[in-house]
């Protein structure tokens, strides 16, 4: 039977394996398999090997603890919440299929449960008719107002109207769902930059956030996506979706190391309540199978 990533790691760090060049090579391969990415894996293991040589560390547990320490340095986390008494605008970014629209709804429910009275969702993905309908359905189920225009209309105008609707209701949060057609990159970037300007104008100072949604199961593709969106509009935080038994999730390490981007929330299932603030230490423990 094929071993899982966690089982392979446990096996490598069991007392039976010898600490030598082969051990570190195998560890590098495993980190790559865990979606950390070749560049980051090589750099981390080189640093680990050098520390182990210098500090004469030969025990499996001590090497694992040192590896955890090194990975934790790269993983960034941030606890993002709307500022009370202010007009907050959050733009949700990400390619189609990562669960962006559902994540917008999960955030709405999460903040509604945590005392944010006024929440408006904006259907700014006007190119995918299904996205408008999907957000409307979420709004209906959650009792959250959704502002939308016709299919194909200007996404910036939708955000503008949603922000005006929030302003009329009182302080709170606008969550704007945007398009993610990466195959049409130039147009997408132009469109996002236009929405970006609108969001910046409509939010109170310091209350505008750009959040990239990535699928935990897509590995280094997620890093490439983060690079593209960050270049276009300068991302504030990441939300990782589909983080379940099929997701090795190591991409948070390479995104932190290469782009300096923090993770704010993690989604573990389809339900509205399957969202939680990201905990870097718990994440690395799970990644290295150190939990329990």
Note the pLDDT tens digit of each residue in 89-98. 999 999 988 9
pLDDT the model gives residue 292: 41
- Evaluate the CA torsion angle 247, 250, 254, 257 in order and state its sign: positive
**pLDDT > 70: what percent of the chain?**
95
Note the pLDDT tens digit of each residue in 144-193. 999 999 888 999 999 999 999 999 999 999 999 998 876 667 888 888 99
Give the SS3 label for residue 117. Answer: coil
Mark out the alpha helices in the chain (DSSP H runs): 5-12, 21-33, 38-54, 60-74, 100-113, 129-142, 155-169, 185-202, 220-233, 251-259, 280-287
Note the pLDDT tens digit of each residue in 182-222. 666 788 888 899 999 999 999 999 999 999 999 988 888 99
Token output for 292: 């329990």
Q: Which domains does the chain have, with CATH numbers?
A: 5-74 (1.20.120.140), 87-278 (3.40.50.300)
201 vs 13, higher pLDDT: 201
**Residue from 175, 239, 236, 233 nearest 203 by CA:** 175
d(CA 123, CA 127): 10
User: In which residue are the tokens 């709004």 written?
Assistant: 139
Q: What is the pTM of this model?
A: 0.93
Check: CB of residue 269 under 8 Å from CB of residue 228.
no
pLDDT the model gives residue 25: 93
Cα–Cα distances in Å, from 73 out to 32, 136, 138, 254? 18, 40, 37, 11
Residue 1 pLDDT greater than 60, yes or no: no
pLDDT the model gives residue 3: 62
Confidence at 288, pLDDT banded by 50, 70, 90: confident
Q: Which residues contact 212 (CB under 8 A, 6 or more apart)?
A: 93, 94, 225, 226, 229, 230, 235, 237, 238, 239, 261
Check: CB of residue 32 under 8 Å from CB of residue 41.
yes
């Amino acid at each position: 039977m094929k071993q899982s990533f966690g089982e392979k790691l446990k096996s490598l760090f069991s007392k039976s394996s010898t600490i030598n060049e082969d051990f570190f090579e195998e560890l590098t391969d495993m980190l790559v398999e865990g979606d950390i990415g070749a560049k980051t894996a090589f750099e981390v293991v080189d640093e680990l090997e050098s520390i182990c040589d210098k500090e004469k560390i030969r025990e499996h547990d001590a090497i694992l603890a040192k590896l955890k320490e090194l990975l934790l340095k790269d993983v960034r986390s941030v606890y993002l919440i709307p500022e009370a008494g202010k007009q907050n605008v959050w733009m949700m970014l990400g390619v189609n299929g990562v669960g962006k629209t559902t994540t917008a709804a999960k955030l709405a429910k999460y903040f509604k449960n945590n005392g944010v009275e006024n929440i408006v969702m904006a259907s700014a993905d006007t190119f995918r008719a299904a996205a408008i309908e999907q957000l409307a359905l979420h709004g209906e189920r959650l009792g959250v107002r959704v502002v939308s225009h016709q299919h194909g209309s200007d996404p910036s105008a939708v955000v503008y109207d949603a922000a005006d609707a929030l302003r009329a209701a009182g302080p709170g949060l606008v969550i704007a769902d945007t398009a993610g057609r990466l195959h049409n990159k130039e147009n997408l970037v132009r469109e996002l930059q236009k929405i970006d300007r609108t969001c910046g104008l409509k939010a109170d100072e310091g209350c505008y956030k750009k959040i990239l949604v990535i699928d935990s199961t897509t590995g280094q593709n997620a890093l490439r996506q983060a690079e593209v969106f960050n270049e276009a509009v300068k991302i504030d935080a990441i939300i990782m979706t589909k983080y379940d038994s099929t997701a090795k999730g190591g991409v948070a390490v390479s995104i932190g190391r290469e782009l300096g981007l923090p993770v704010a929330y993690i989604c573990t299932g389809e339900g509205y309540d399957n969202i939680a603030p990201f905990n870097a230490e718990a994440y690395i423990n799970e990644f290295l199978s150190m939990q329990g």
